[in-house]
């Protein structure tokens, strides 16, 4: 009959179910990993911004898009929330979100004036169009490239029109499971990206690309170049 929607193909439905299970497993292993390494991660990296002039300048640039009190989410804030704290100290209403309850507990203890909550960036419990900005510093790297559109659609959904997202990742083409993190035995997924990948994720999910640049690693960093991108929600 005209106008009647055809039944969903059983194979397509099954594929979606399998992918959903895979993504849930990856998110759960990420949570478990950062519950394990949260304290060590904080001890190693909570002061790293002092040594990273490029990153400070990038965050200064990003902060200029906003006014005092604008709401910015630090997605994947980690145990230190030092990226979000840098913006918070410039007068923005920055709230940290992380999948690891242990990381959130540590972040609250070291940043008592900030707000934090446990959350999954693939399905955020945040109303549509309610956020002015997003910072995603190395937080999409634990999700396979084939699922990145889902994350960027969430970014688009929660941002108001004209809202900005700053995304930072490590450059490369490798992705897969890693058997340790910071010397702690675990199973955690890592993905690297190219500039072309990040540009496609943004422009293909309702963003205009405002900035895209790659920097070489500092001498004290893991020897991967870093990609920085700013997108504006259309």
Q: What is the separation of C-alpha 100 from the centre of its chain, rounded to a whole number of angstroms?
A: 13
Residue 1: what pLDDT? Answer: 43
Q: Does domain 48-233 have CATH number 3.40.50.150?
A: yes
pLDDT tens figures, 53-62: 999 999 999 9
Task: List Cα–Cα distances, 105 to 94, 114, 175, in angstroms.
Answer: 17, 12, 29
Helix (H) or strand (E) holding 32: helix 10-45
Percentage above 90 pLDDT, the chain:
90
Q: Where are the domains of the chain?
A: 48-233
Q: Dump pLDDT digits (tens) for 5-59.
A: 545 676 455 545 445 679 999 999 999 999 999 999 999 999 999 999 999 999 9
Residue closest to 126 by CA, chosen among 92, 83, 160, 166: 160
**What burial letters (b/e) apply to 6-44, b meaning 16+ CB within 10 Å?**
eeeeeeeeeeeeeeeeebeebbebbbbbbbbbbeebbee
d(CA 141, CA 138): 6
pTM for this entry: 0.91
């Amino acid at each position: 009959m005209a106008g009647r929607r055809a039944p969903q193909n059983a194979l397509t439905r099954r594929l979606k179910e399998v992918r959903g299970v895979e993504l849930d497993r990856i998110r759960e292993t990420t949570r478990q990993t950062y519950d394990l390494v949260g304290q060590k991660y904080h001890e190693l990296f909570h002061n790293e911004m002092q040594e990273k002039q490029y990153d400070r300048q990038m965050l200064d640039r990003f902060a200029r898009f906003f006014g005092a009190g604008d709401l910015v989410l630090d997605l994947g804030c980690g145990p230190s929330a030092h990226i979000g704290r840098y913006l918070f100290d410039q007068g923005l209403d920055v709230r940290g979100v992380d999948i690891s309850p242990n990381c959130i507990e540590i972040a609250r203890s070291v940043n008592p004036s900030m707000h934090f909550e446990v959350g999954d960036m693939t399905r955020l419990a945040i109303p549509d169009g309610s956020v002015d900005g997003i910072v995603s510093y190395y937080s999409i790297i634990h999700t396979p490239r084939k699922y990145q559109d889902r994350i960027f659609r969430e970014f688009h959904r929660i941002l108001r029109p004209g809202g900005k997202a700053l995304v930072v990742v490590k450059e490369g083409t490798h992705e897969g499971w890693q058997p340790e993190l910071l010397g702690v035995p675990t199973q955690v997924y890592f993905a690297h990206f190219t500039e072309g990948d990040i540009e496609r994720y943004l422009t293909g999910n309702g963003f205009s690309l405002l900035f895209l640049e790659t920097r070489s690693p500092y001498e004290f960093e893991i020897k991967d170049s870093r990609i920085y991108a700013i997108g504006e929600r259309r």
